[in-house]
Each structure stands twice: as C-alpha cells, then as structure tokens.
Structure 1
C-alpha cells in the first residue's frame, strides 16, 4: 500500500494512529449526538460515515489523503460500536441481557476471522499494489447497513421516553409485541407499576458527580487494563513467535488463528452463564486467566530461562483468552451502570480508554522488545496492569446480573 503511494514505511505508524485519533473524536462527538438526537440517528450516521470513508480510502491518491480519510473513518468506527452496545442494553430484558449482548459482541471476532480470510483471498488474486484498494472498497458495506437501519431499525423506547416522546415509544413497543405474537410467542399482560419519576436532562459532566464518580473511574480502569494487554499481545504475538520462538510466518499465523478460535469458545462459555454467575465472576475469570499467562511468562522466562515458542504461545494465549472475555463484557457492563439520559455518552467516553490503550500498548511493548530481556519485561508490565485492573474491579465493581436498568441507574 505504502509503496503504491510512494510513501516510506516510517509513516505506517501515523496511518494507524490517525484511525485511533478519529475513534476518540467519534466517541465524543457521537456520544453527544446519541443523547440529543437518538441512538438510531447516531448509529446510522456513524455507519454511513465509516462506510463512505472506507470507499474514499480506496480512492486515495497520496499518503496524506489516505491519512485524512482514515482519520475521518475512525470517527465513524469510534461511535458505531459503543452506541450499538448502549442500544442493545435498552432493548433486551434483564434476565437475558448478558447472553444476547455477548452473542452480538461475538460477531466482531467472527468479523476478524472473515476479514483475515477475505484479505488472504484478495491478496492471492490481485497484486499487492492494488489489493488494498479492493479491501477498502469492501469496507464500504456499512453504507448498506446504514440504509437498512434507517428504514428498519426502531429507536430505543427508553430514549424516547426520556425525551418525552411517549406516543412514539408506545408505537415501538407495540410493534415489538406484534412481531413476537406473529412468531408464536404468548406475552403476559403488562404488570402495573408506579410511574417512574421524570429523569433530569442530560448533563455530560454528571459522569464525575458524587453518585457516578466511582463507577466512571472503575470503568476507565477496567477498559484500560483490559485493552492494553489485548492490543499489545494481538499486535506482537505473531512477531514473538517468529523472532523469538523461531517459527515460520505460516506456522505463527496458524497458531494465532487458533487463539482466535479459542477466544470464541471462551466467549460463548461466558455468554451462556453470564446471567447466572454474574459480571464480577467473569471479570475475575478473565483477569485470572490473563494473569496466569503473564505471571507464567515471568516465571518461565525470568526463573527458568525458557524462551521456546511453546512457552510464548501458551502464556500469550492465556493472556488473550482472559482479556478477550473481559473486552465484550466491558461494553455490556458500562451501558448497564448509567441511566438512559447518559448511557450512550458514558459508554462512548469509556471506550476512549480502549483507543488510548491501543495506541500506548504497541509502542510500549515494542520499545521493551528492543531490549535483551524485553519479552520478560513485557510479561512483567502486563502482570502489573492486570493486577491493578482485577483489584479495582473486585473492590468497586457493582454486580448487575438480572437487574433492570432503571434499578441499576439509582
């Protein structure tokens, strides 16, 4: 790609960073939009922006134009995932919320597998200087998703109620009930409940008010300590297996693909029991697995001097299995801990910790790997980060399983 644009390899990092900067901007801008104009408008706009800028990237004529398009594309991506997570939470009943949202989140892992296979296919058919453009064209599919969503996706009833649009909220719920009855479901009569007090208007600084400050800081620690090892080991795992473990690129790629399959198995196990065992339990399991890998790496390399590929693979895989359990639950959990008036905003602001970690991790671990004992110190750093995350979440994390959003919002 860079060769075809006449650019040196030194700008590759800037191209990657541009996407992450865009994601931070997108999370903040669309966080405001989702609370003002609605979840549907934010989701459709973010999807359309991401798809359109992917097509524009395919037509880039210079590295500067590609960097600009990637920055703008990141704005769409930074908003699309968090607003969808918030919206899912507002539609799904409490008893099955964990299962449904995590199954939805698993589609991202399938997307990674699919993108890898499609990328390999395109690269085998087209020369490298053209293949990247076709891949960006394929990235324009969210444009079609945006068109479909505009006509078929209902607005969140909870958001409509918060905005005082009661009749529209009633129509959405009536449509959902009619769809369920057409599918053969028998619905119980609605229970009589006392009218909920009107929510105050959205105040974006309320994240740091006395009632929510601890939750906000706990979630930021959760996001950062989950995505720092996730980004670091995802980026550097193949290189470790090749450079340190002595494997060929094809074998390293195969083993890395095996880790992704293991991530899916762990995620579906968590999804099937999340509403019974709880969020805190699975955060503990996720951090525990990751710590077993990172601490095992410290012991294996630091005490015994083992540096073969089996040690790197097993320890790295455990780290990735653990943090890949925590990552999708973080989207679900964040949206559960805030009221409707700031649910999407809080989820998007928290997701900026993911982007920060995704920038810091590859750079930090890359610098560590430049030293003689760099692999060992990478495991040491990961262990420290995971211990901090586990301690904070177990100390301050609120259990949310099978609890209504209105109850959790306080």
Structure 2
C-alpha cells in the first residue's frame, strides 16, 4: 500500500468524526455480531473441558493423553491467529472475522461425528484455526469504532460476552447430558457449537468494515458511508455533534509486519507477548482441567464438578463487569498488576494447602477462585489493551500475534498439568507452576506496562 497526503487527510478526518460520536445503533449492531461470534468462540474453546470426562470413557483415553486433546485446538489457534491476523490487515477485519466464524462453526459440526480419539484430535486442531483468529480480529475491529473517552467501558462490556460463553458452557453441557445422556449429549454439544455458521452469513450482509482501516487504505467513500450512518443515527437521537477536530493526527504508513520489533514498538511487543502467555497459561491451563480434576482427584460426580465450575465462572463474570465499569477511571495497568498478584497468591495457597494434606476439591475450588479472580480481568482486558498499543496499520496483526502467544500457552498449560499429574508429582506441583508463571507476568507488567485510559488510539500509537 502506498501512502499519500490524501490518505492521511482522510484518516485524520475519519478519526475526528469518530471521536465525537457517542455509542449508538451502529455500535450496537457491530457489538452484537462480534459478541455473538465471541460467545461461541468461548463456548467452542471450553466445550472440550465439559465433555472431556465422557470422551475419556468413550474412546478409552489415558489421563496423560487427554492433555493432547485439550491442547489440539490451541495449536490450530496459533496458526489461525497468525495467518488470519495478517489477512485482516491486507483485506480487512470484516472478511477475516466472517471467515474465522465459518471455519470454527463447520469444524464443530464435523467434531460431532468423530469416530475415534485421533479423529477428534485432528478436527479440534483444524477448528482452532478459526477460533484463534475470531476474538483478536473482533477486538481490533470494535476498538476502532469506539471513541477514546469511553473505549474501556464499551469494549469490556462487549468482551464480557466471552465470559458468558465460559459460564454457560458447563451449564449447557449439564443440560444436554440430562436431556440426551452423556454419550449423545457430548456430540450434540458440538452441533450446538456450529451455530456460528449462521452468524457468519448474517455478518456478511450486516457487519460494516472499520472506517479507520478503510480510510488508511484510500477507501474514503466507503469509510464515509459508515460514518454518515453513524452520524445520522446520533442526530436522530437528538445528539448535537460538534465540528470534527483533528487532535491526534493519524500516522499513515504502509503495513510492515516486522514493525512489531522496531525500536518504537519492541518494548510494547515484549509486554504484550509475555502478558498474553502468562495470563492464558493460567486461565486455560487450569480451567480446562478443572472439571476433570474435581472428578478424578476430588471424587466429585460429574454434575457437581460442572456445577462448581459454573459457580466460579459466574463470580468471574461479576468481576468482569466491575472491571468494565471502572477501567476508564482506575486504568488498565493497576488492574493487571493487581490481578497477577492475586493469581500468585492463589498458586501459593494451593501449593501450601496440598502440602499440609488438605482435601483436594476444596483446595481446587479456593485456589482456582483466587487465581481466576486475578487472571480474568487480565485475559479479558488484553483484547482492549493490546489494540491500544499499536497503530491502525498493524492493530489486527499485533493483536492476533499477541493472542497467538495465548495459544502457545494454552497448548503448553494443559499438557504440563497432565504431565505433572501423570508423573506422580501431585496437585501441589501444578499450583506451584501456575504461581511462578503469574509472578513473571506481574514483574513484566510492573516494569513495562503503560497506561492507556481515555486516550485516542492515534495518540497512543505515536
């Protein structure tokens, strides 16, 4: 892409028009479509944790090998985040989002007909390609629609839908098991996870492209159509719009994927990648195993295990809304530093309690709750924070590559849990590992983190 003065002027004007627009009907439509996709991304990612105990029995899988099944989707997600993240910069956020929905929805349907452990492993790996791309691309797209003064609250209210997917996955699983039995129920859960295909069709006709991306690609007329609709909606609701004022000029340059490692951005990239890795190592490494650990080590029935998991997820969801309502005042960095510190405390508590001979399932519940309360705002907030650290020319790419480290962590975490338990090192070693990872995240965020609250994206990108 060549850069001209006209493209810079168009980008500046687009930003100026966007930054005076309150949340309206177009924002709501974008949030609804992206949010529905994000809900199913969470559901399809976590559904394996819900069905794992049943799948282990169906296909006679060893506990150590089960970690491979959990991690398979995350390998695919790494590939999808990198590849579709690059396509989102070249061809637009909208098409990349639609393609990712169609991909993971169709593969969820295929997984319902898996005939062996190996076939389900392959299908989950392929499904991960779509799962890995959807949330970071959607996060970048929605960030580009919302003005700076309220971006934290708006984006996090939208991102809370991911937590709803995590919360409802075990409850929907429990319902399906009760209605259809475990053997049929786990397959029908994958059928339910195929609904994103329908969302992809609706999004093809109803989801607008990012005006920021359009303007920087020289598609001024297309950007103008989206802005005209947003402004007309605001005026129809009685909003008086001031004249557009360019406060933070756009830095319009060609997209260079290696710019992530340039002197201007390498510290931010290090911050982003380490935070993604540490946060999701804890989130997925522990949460995907938790229902199975309740059953295998805690001696609880499957229904009780899923019920406890849902209770904890509900508590996390309340916290996410508190985070959303305060993040534009408190800021991103204090939440992240405090979150990692609480996760360290959870790991220490779990390790010490097991060493003192405490019963497994109460320790799993309390330590898991502490770690989850700490890490949930971090992992959810990264979809707000990472897009704020980079300019439009590489925002989707930077968010996708950052989230690809989440996929690496989500692959290693479950395998490590299975390996530690399979080697007879016990639950205490698992808590120790998570505590140490949280400590690394705490140190890096404290040293490198920057505050982004209430600032225009173009200002932050300088």
Output the TM-score relative to the length of structure 2: 0.81
Shift of 1:244: 4.5
Residue from 417, 421, 443 that aligns with 1:391: 443
Q: Is the 8 A contact 2:170 2:306 kept in 1?
A: no
- Whole-angstrom distance in 1 between the partners of 2:298 and 2:120: 35
Shift of 1:177: 1.3
Task: Report whether the alignment pairs 1:98 with 2:156.
Answer: no
Shift of 1:277: 0.3
Q: 1:303-352: CA deviations, max 9, x gaps?
A: x4444543442222101111112111011111110100000001111111
In the other structure, the counterpart of 1:143 is 197
Shift of 1:377: 2.2
Q: How does 1:28-47 map to 2 (within 5 A)?
A: 28-47=82-101
Which secondary structure state, in structure 2, belongs to the residue aligned with residue 30 of structure 1? helix
- The worse-fitting range, judged by mean Cα deviation, of 21-30 and 332-341 is 21-30
Q: Is the 8 A contact 2:67 2:414 kept in 1?
A: no
- Whole-angstrom distance in 2 between the partners of 1:69 and 1:41: 23
Shift of 1:51: 1.7
Q: 1:45-93: CA deviations, max 9, x gaps?
A: 1112222222233345666554443333211111111100001110111
Residue from 202, 224, 231 that aligns with 1:170: 224
Gaps in structure 2 of 5+ consecutive residues: 1-50
Q: 1:204-255: CA deviations, max 9, x gaps?
A: 1111111111111111110111111112221333344445545444433332
- The worse-fitting range, judged by mean Cα deviation, of 399-408 and 286-295 is 286-295
In the other structure, the counterpart of 1:361 is 413
Structure 1 residues 67 and 322: alpha-carbon distance in aligned structure 2, compared to 1, 3 A threshold: same
Q: How does 1:4-43 map to 2 (within 5 A)?
A: 7-9=59-61, 12-43=66-97
In the other structure, the counterpart of 2:13 is none
- The worse-fitting range, judged by mean Cα deviation, of 127-136 and 226-235 is 127-136
Higher relative contact order (CA 8 A, sep 6+): 2
Shift of 1:125: 2.9
Q: Is the 8 A contact 1:47 1:143 kept in 2?
A: yes
Q: 1:234-288: CA deviations, max 9, x gaps?
A: 1333344445545444433332221111101111111110000000011022112
Structure 1 residues 371 and 170: alpha-carbon distance in aligned structure 2, compared to 1, 3 A threshold: same
Q: How does 1:99-138 map to 2 (within 5 A)?
A: 99-138=153-192
Gaps in structure 1 of 5+ consecutive residues: none
Q: How does 1:126-275 map to 2 (within 5 A)?
A: 126-182=180-236, 184-193=237-246, 196=249, 199-275=252-328
Shift of 1:124: 2.5
- Whole-angstrom distance in 2 between the partners of 1:22 and 1:122: 27
- The worse-fitting range, judged by mean Cα deviation, of 322-331 and 379-388 is 379-388
Q: Is the 8 A contact 2:284 2:410 kept in 1?
A: yes
Structure 1 residues 89 and 387: alpha-carbon distance in aligned structure 2, compared to 1, 3 A threshold: same
Shift of 1:107: 0.9
Structure 1 residues 293 and 185: alpha-carbon distance in aligned structure 2, compared to 1, 3 A threshold: farther
Structure 1 residues 334 and 135: alpha-carbon distance in aligned structure 2, compared to 1, 3 A threshold: same
- Whole-angstrom distance in 2 between the partners of 1:56 and 1:240: 28
In the other structure, the counterpart of 1:70 is 124
Q: 1:137-183: CA deviations, max 9, x gaps?
A: 2222111111111111110011011111112111111111112233x
- The worse-fitting range, judged by mean Cα deviation, of 267-276 and 368-377 is 368-377
- The worse-fitting range, judged by mean Cα deviation, of 365-374 and 353-362 is 365-374
Count of aligned residue pairs for this structure pair: 408
- Whole-angstrom distance in 2 between the partners of 1:263 and 1:395: 27
Task: Tell me the C-alpha RMSD between the 2 structures.
Answer: 2.6
Shift of 1:127: 4.5
- Whole-angstrom distance in 1 between the partners of 2:140 and 2:246: 24
Q: Is the 8 A contact 1:5 1:62 kept in 2?
A: no
Q: Is the 8 A contact 2:100 2:134 kept in 1?
A: yes
In the other structure, the counterpart of 1:313 is 365
Q: Is the 8 A contact 1:244 1:307 kept in 2?
A: no
Which secondary structure state, in structure 2, belongs to the residue aligned with residue 338 of structure 1? coil
In the other structure, the counterpart of 1:343 is 395
Shift of 1:200: 1.2
Q: Is the 8 A contact 2:149 2:454 kept in 1?
A: yes
Which secondary structure state, in structure 2, belongs to the residue aligned with residue 91 of structure 1? coil
- Whole-angstrom distance in 1 between the partners of 2:179 and 2:132: 31
Output the TM-score relative to the length of structure 1: 0.91
In the other structure, the counterpart of 2:135 is 81
- Whole-angstrom distance in 2 between the partners of 1:61 and 1:372: 31
- Whole-angstrom distance in 1 between the partners of 2:358 and 2:117: 42
Which secondary structure state, in structure 1, belongs to the residue aligned with residue 289 of structure 2? helix
